[in-house]
Amino acid sequence: MSADLPTAKTLPPLTPGTLYLVATPIGNLEDISLRALRVLRECDVVAAEDTRRTGQLLKHFEISKPMLSYFQFNEAKRSEEILERLKHGEKVALVTDAGTPGISDPGERVVRAAVAAGLRVESVPGPCALVAALTASGLPTGEFHFIGFLPHKSGQRRKQLEALKEFAGTLALYESPYRIEKLLGELYEVFPDRTIVLARELTKKFEEFLRGTPGELIALVAKRSLKGEFVVLVSGEEDVPTDNADNADETR
């Protein structure tokens, strides 16, 4: 495989009538890809979850582009508009606030509609908190189940966790910092012997991985409050260590 980076002369132009799903940094701006920057520069319009936030990102990279807002509560209406634009040959870049569109973020609806309409969809891969957390967690990566955010209601949360008790692979969840203690309590009830990995503030200055059983992590959280963004990983049914050597007081 050639290690040469493509130059502006060798790169093919963007394809008209294509929806580009552009992954953006989850904390560290260096994680934006060269291709993401080119797509953002060369597209006709950027569909953004939050135009103010994406505006800041574009400004940082000295890109000026028309934007339209595309978020959870206007997805249906905006999807139609995006489809019309694609049918007229426009190149539309879809970005969310951070990470990969469609992963616990808007995107799925317009992608499904575009695919159903026979339109072209391209992924411009890059940062994704799930992948960053899982791959550095030290837990098995071969088989995993991504839950995204659990529902807010206690009964529903518990039911969903219980249903995953038999799953052999690693479980991965997103959780808000306000509910991390609640989640650890629930994991203590449902998965008391499993190894939990809290992947906190990935790609940012205070990134850390906290490992231990739910009980060990509850003790840790009682000593220091944990802020920031989290991905929570739970070792699979078949990956319970006989001697849980991880020391939850230690950050690795």
> Where on the chain is the footprint of ligand SAM (CB under 6 A)?
26-27, 96, 98-100, 103-105, 128-130, 174-176, 199, 201-204, 229-231
For residues 51 and 203, which CB has a smaller minimum distance to ligand SAM in the complex? 203
Specify whether the CB–CB gap between 117 and 26 falls below 8 A. no
Query: Between 136 and 237, whose beta carbon lies closer to ligand SAM?
Result: 136
Q: Which residues contact 128 (CB under 8 A, 6 or more apart)?
A: 23, 26, 99, 100, 103
Nearer to ligand SAM, 185 or 228 (CB): 228
Q: Which amino acid appears at position 102 of this protein?
A: G
Closer Cβ to ligand SAM, 52 or 87, answer by number: 52
Is 26 within 8 Å of 128 (Cβ atoms)? yes
To ligand SAM, the closest distance from the beta carbon of 187 in angstroms equals 15
Give me the helices (H) in 18-153, please.
34-42, 51-60, 75-87, 108-116, 129-137
Using CA atoms, how far residue 180 sits from 52, 154, 186, in Å, is 28, 13, 10
**Residue 216 CB, nearest approach to ligand SAM (Å):** 20
Q: How far is the CB of 176 from ligand SAM (least distance, A)?
A: 6
- Least separation in angstroms between CB 99 and ligand SAM: 2
User: Token pair of 2, please?
Assistant: 């050639």
Q: Whole-number minimum distance, CB 59 to ligand SAM, in Å?
A: 21
DSSP for 8-38, please give it. TTTSPPPPTTEEEEE-B-SS-GGG--HHHHH
- Minimal distance, residue 103 CB to ligand SAM, in Å: 4
Q: Which is it for strands 170-175 and 230-234: parallel, antiparallel or unpaired?
A: antiparallel
For ligand SAM, the closer CB: 39 or 199: 199
Least Cβ distance, residue 71 to ligand SAM (angstroms): 11
User: Greatest CA span in the chain, whole angstroms?
Assistant: 61
102: left (phi over 0), alpha (psi -120 to 50) or beta: left
- Judged by beta carbon, residue 181 or residue 237, the one nearer ligand SAM is 181
Which class for 21: exposed (0-12), middle (13-18), buried (19 or more C-beta within 10 A)? Answer: buried
